[in-house]
Amino acid sequence: MAKEKTVFFCSECGFEASKWMGQCPNCKSWNTFVEEKTVAKSKNKQVSYGDRPKAVSIGEVAVTEEVRLITGINELDRVLGGGIVKGSLVLVGGDPGIGKSTLLLEMCRNLSDKGTKVFYVSGEESLSQIKMRGERIGANSKNLMLQSDNDLDNIFASMENCQAEVMIVDSIQTMVSADTDNAPGTVTQVREVTNRLLQLAKRLNVAIFIVGHVTKEGMVAGPRTLEHMVDCVLYFEGDGNAGFRLLRAVKNRFGSTNEIGVFNMTDKGLEEVSNPSKMFLNGRPENAPGSVVVSVVEGSRAIMLEIQALVCDSNFNMARRTAVGVDYNRVNLLMAVLEKRAGLNLAGSDCYVNIAGGMKLNDPSADLGIAMAIASSFRNRALDSSVCIIGEIGLTGEIRGIRNIVQRIGEAEKMGFTSCIIPSSNYDKSSMEKMGIKIYTVSNINEALGLIK
């Protein structure tokens, strides 16, 4: 007979222990262990291996092409790698109210209008609430099936009957599996529900999207093993005060993880942004000290962003450093290079760096733009508002080459910029002479700062 035992799980990584611990030995997180009850299955002493699957040579494996469903939302298709792959399990995470359910419901509207059968399950909203959201965005096709339930057995029975090609589960923390007695949202319950949904996706060759809540640190609530079980992890992020939203893939077995999708939240739902550069540069001040424009690459697209810096005398013994949208340690590193290599005395000054529009930037090609914005504010001298800055800075003050330089310059030219500062190692006379934009080349930080009039 199966016995019940009490174990402790780490809510961050899913590590299992027989007793409570203050710090998880696996992920080193503090106070993350929760107590849960599990059922130990009895072992079968008679084991037969005759009918079990056997290993095969890689040359004998038949390769089948991925069958993708086009959602009709170009930004979503780009992040997914070209569309929805049948038989895949996709996790969509994001802050409450960011627009996860709206995005998925718009996807369901487009798919159902094309004749694809979609099954939408909600454990948080009633059918009337889903209907109200659906009417707001125009989702009223008979191919869109709804169910308000959190019992996984009932959901599986409905799925078998409707034979849908795409299934939405909103949200994973509300679902309950009868095989586990734990409360909804616990580590054991979330892991068991996800495992059963994964088996359903592979068995019926149906694409399943699951919505996951996030913690205050921005990670999907529940064990980190949840991200390892799914085929694709998408994060829906953005500033709650701003209208735009970013859809970013952090894991994708069927495409690139560098792509991002840009949306704009309106009263009629989410709208795609085909020209993100125009949106991020909207309202940019001209000839203002501390304001520069950089060209970064996210996935397969180049985007123009405004970097703002404010440097002022500190009133405290220790100067303040604040970075929004860029790595705080990277800003400190660049300020150290400016002090050592360019002779700027920044030790007694407060420094604030911000990416206008709320975009989070990890591209090292923005180093030169950040450094020149800081120097511009420190000297109180403005850069020409029609110049774009591209380049990575090394610790010795050298300007290092970056990738996709032609694509970045082309985006700057398309947005009406007349000049561009690039690393000397990236200059190609044959391809850049034909461009209708003036190119300035720099090899170190002092040459770049000399362009500030």
End-to-end CA distance of the chain: 83
Nearest to 288 by CA among 369, 354, 367, 377: 377
Angstrom distance (rounded) from CA 363 to CA 158: 46
Chain centre distance of CA 147:
29
What residue numbers does the annotated binding site cover? 94-101
Determine how β-strand 260-266 pairs with β-strand 269-272.
antiparallel
Binding residues for ATP: 94-101
The radius of gyration computed from the CA coordinates of the chain, to the nearest angstrom, equals: 26
Name residue 149's amino acid. Answer: D
Distance CA 258, CA 250 (A): 8
Whole-number Å distance between alpha carbons of 91 and 339: 45
> How many angstroms separate the Cα of 61 from the Cα of each of 57, 69, 202, 302?
7, 25, 18, 39
Q: What is the DSSP string of 344-395?
A: ---TTEEEEEEETTS-----GGGHHHHHHHHHHHHHT-PPPTTEEE--EE-T
List, in order, residues 6 or more apart from 242 with CB less than 8 Å away: 357, 358
CA distance 420 to 437: 7
Rounded CA separation 189/167 (Å): 20
Helices then strands, counting H and E runs in the chain, come out as 12, 23
